[in-house]
Amino acid sequence: MINISPRQLQVFVQVATLGSVRAAAEHLHLTQPAASMALRDMEHQLAAPVFDRERGRLHLNPRGRELLPLAQELLERYAEFGRHGAGDAMLGGELRVGTSNTVGNYRVGELLGRFVEAHPQVTIRLRVANTEAIAAAMLDHALDVGCVEGPVTHPQLEVRPWRTDSLVVCARPDHPLARRRRLAAEHFAGARWVLREPGSATRALSERALGQLPGGLTVLELDQIEAIKQAVVAGLGIACLPEVAVTDAVAAGRLKVLHTPFLDLTRQLSILLHRQKYRGAAMEAFLRTL
């Protein structure tokens, strides 16, 4: 008879998340031998390994990937059982949220503020990366919910619209394009552009906009919006950036937004949910705040 304990499930989930028994043991405040024994006993009961071992790192094998969302659900239900049994109305536990850069750096208050205020005992684990990386983490069950700027299409992911967002083309105030009273597409011929890295939603929309303009030159690719802003301020080129990210620099006179009504620079921000992921009380409460 299989008799897998909550502790064994905790070790399994944390090793899957962190990639090593040592890191899982530290997270769970266990000794490494105790964590290793818990994982070994679970695999013995299942009569099959759930990880592939490579150079000191553990990677989920197909059996492990199949069992991970079930283990996460069992642990969440176990915690909810204890909370309801104790008559505790306060939500606890943690919520692992992944956001793309614009949301994580400039709209995190809009995304999480109401939930954090209503449920202060829930720990938020926030990961900020580009859209491609957040979608991959959702598919690996490393995150509970995602919020991204770019389009995501995958049969295992549910995509819910959250809000719209706008990009703007910006330049240093003394840039030749910034000094023009009225701009047309042909004025951008030969422009020097500073772009986000491939895989970023901002990069994808920038490329779509550049496709509507005469040919230019990409002089830099950077993975942080703030770095791009500084490059534009330094006169290295012009950039297409989220409007919310340049408000401060425009107000300070360090950047100027170029008026480009001939470009479509709007996009949809979306919530990502894994279709196989159990949506416990904390998750449902978070979704209601949106």
For the chain, which residues make up each domain, given as ranges?
6-86, 93-163+269-288, 166-265
Say yes or no: domain 93-163+269-288 is CATH 3.30.230.10. no
According to CATH, the topology of domain 6-86 is Arc Repressor Mutant, subunit A (1.10.10)
The reported pLDDT for the residue numbered 123 is: 92
The reported pLDDT for the residue numbered 91 is: 78
SS (H, E, C) the chain: CCCCCHHHHHHHHHHHHHCCHHHHHHHHCCCHHHHHHHHHHHHHHHCCCCEEEECCEEEECHHHHHHHHHHHHHHHHHHHHHHHHCCCCCCCCEEEEEECHHHHHHCHHHHHHHHHHHCCCCEEEEEECCHHHHHHHHHCCCCCEEEECCCCCCCCEEEEEEEEEEEEEEECCCCCCCCCCCCCHHHHCCCEEEEECCCCHHHHHHHHHHCCCCCCEEEEEECCHHHHHHHHHCCCCEEEEEHHHHHHHHHCCCCEEECCCCCCCEEEEEEEEECCCCCCHHHHHHHHHC
According to CATH, the topology of domain 166-265 is D-Maltodextrin-Binding Protein; domain 2 (3.40.190)
Mean pLDDT by 10 residues, the chain (290 residues): 87 90 92 94 92 84 91 87 70 90 93 94 93 92 92 94 94 96 94 90 87 92 93 96 94 96 93 92 92
Domains 93-163+269-288 and 166-265 agree in fold: yes
The reported pLDDT for the residue numbered 86 is: 66
